[in-house]
């Protein structure tokens, strides 16, 4: 069963090789890797040409000017030949069994399947979101329980229009939420099947302006489906992302709206700032 892996890239240098190698080393070998070089200026295209010459499973495409990760992902999905597609960021890696296990556990009754991951810092690799979970729309509107990659039938991605190219943040969250709206609950396999690397010096977190615009656009698209609890939760995630201070009342309201463990993890990771009285 052919599986297509899409990967946008832009000026990643040596990190790109690590990501590509993790795909080509999968235990499930019936795959293709579609990499879209989104206007890189650092020799990325030469690296991709090298891989294409060495392995026919690698297919690369190039944009002369950067058009954004969502445009790159959508191009790769349109070019894909597999029944299933899944993505990988160019600074992360798959564990060797990822594709095999996701294919093994796939069930078409779910919109898509995803998995837990290792949150990798310089000190440790922490298993995260590693519990089996049926992701309902109600749960997904609280927070993105699908992590940052899903395994899905290509035709379903095409049917929903792929990634929203107008969004400047929360593109994954929006896409996966639309899949659930279209095809019903999804399933998260409680095993860490990819490594998400942080503290490597590259840019991962959106700017404050992009974060505000992304959250606002997400609310325009999905806010009418949210309950008060979900609106409170989104206000918490935005404050965490922007590193804005809470009033005591805001903090207490946020913590009583659910997802206490996840929120405490964010507070531990990013720190708590309280507004001065």
Cα 162 from Cα 179, distance rounded (Å):
9
Range of the domain at 256: 227-270
Across 129-150, average pLDDT: 96
The reply to whether 55 and 157 lie within a common domain is yes
210 domain residue, yes or no: no
Domain count for the chain, please give it.
2
Residue 277: the pLDDT is 59
The Cα–Cα gap between 263 and 240 comes to 9
| CA–CA dist 212, 206 (Å, integer) | 10
Q: 41-67: per-residue pLDDT in tens?
A: 999 999 999 999 999 999 999 999 999
Q: What is the pLDDT of residues 71-82, one digit of tens each?
A: 999 999 999 999
For the entire predicted model, the pTM comes to 0.92
**Angle in degrees, 0-180, between the axes of helices 260-270 and 228-242, rounded to the nearest 10:** 10
Provide the pLDDT for residue 200.
55
Residue 206 lies in a domain: no
Percent of the residues in the chain that have a pLDDT greater than 70, as a whole number: 97
Q: What is the pLDDT of residue 203?
A: 43
Question: Which CATH number fits the domain that encloses residue 82?
Answer: 3.90.550.10
Question: What confidence tens digit (pLDDT) does each residue in 205-246 have?
Answer: 447 888 889 899 999 999 999 999 999 998 998 888 888 899
Is the pLDDT at 7 greater than 60? The verdict is: yes
- Determine the Cα–Cα distance for residues 173 and 163; give it in Å rounded to an integer: 10
Of residues 191, 192, 5, 188, the one with CA closest to residue 113: 188
pLDDT at 247 over 80: yes
pLDDT in tens, 67-122: 999 999 999 999 999 999 999 999 999 999 999 999 999 999 999 999 999 999 98
204 pLDDT above the threshold of 60: no
CA distance 168 to 211: 7
Q: Would you say residue 114 lies in a domain?
A: yes
Q: Please, where are the H alpha helices in the chain?
A: 14-24, 44-54, 69-79, 98-105, 137-140, 154-159, 171-183, 208-222, 228-242, 248-255, 260-270
In a domain, 219, yes or no: no
Q: Examine the domain organization and report whether 25 and 158 are in the same domain.
A: yes
* pLDDT value for 205: 42
Residue 193 lies in a domain: yes
With CA atoms as reference, report the closest residue to 193 among 119, 85, 95, 113. Answer: 95
Q: What is the pLDDT of residue 72?
A: 98
């Amino acid at each position: 069963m052919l599986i297509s892996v899409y990967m946008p890239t832009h000026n990643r240098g040596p990190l790109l090789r690590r990501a590509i190698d993790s795909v080509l080393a999968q235990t499930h070998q019936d795959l293709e890797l579609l990499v879209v070089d989104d206007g890189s200026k650092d020799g990325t295209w030469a690296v991709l040409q090298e891989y294409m010459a060495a392995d026919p499973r690698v297919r690369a495409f190039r944009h002369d000017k950067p058009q954004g990760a969502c445009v790159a992902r959508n191009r790769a999905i349109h070019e894909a030949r597999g029944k299933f597609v899944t993505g990988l960021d160019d600074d992360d890696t798959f564990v060797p069994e990822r594709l095999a296990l996701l294919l093994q556990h796939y069930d078409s009754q779910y919109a898509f399947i995803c998995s837990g991951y290792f949150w990798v810092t310089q000190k440790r690799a922490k298993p995260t979101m590693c519990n089996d979970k049926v992701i309902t729309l109600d749960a997904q509107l609280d927070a993105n329980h699908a992590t940052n990659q899903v395994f899905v039938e290509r035709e379903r991605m095409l049917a929903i229009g792929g990634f929203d190219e107008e969004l400047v943040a929360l593109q994954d969250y929006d896409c996966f939420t639309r899949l659930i709206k279209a095809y019903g609950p999804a399933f998260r396999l409680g095993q860490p099947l990819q490594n998400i690397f942080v503290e490597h010096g590259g840019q991962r977190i959106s700017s404050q302006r992009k974060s505000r615009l992304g959250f606002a656009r997400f609310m325009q698209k999905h806010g009418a489906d949210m309950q008060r609890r979900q609106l409170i939760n989104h206000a918490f995630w935005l404050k965490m992302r922007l590193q804005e201070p809470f009033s005591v009342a805001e903090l207490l309201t946020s913590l009583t709206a659910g997802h206490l463990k996840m929120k405490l993890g964010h507070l531990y990771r990013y720190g708590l700032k309280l507004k001065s009285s």
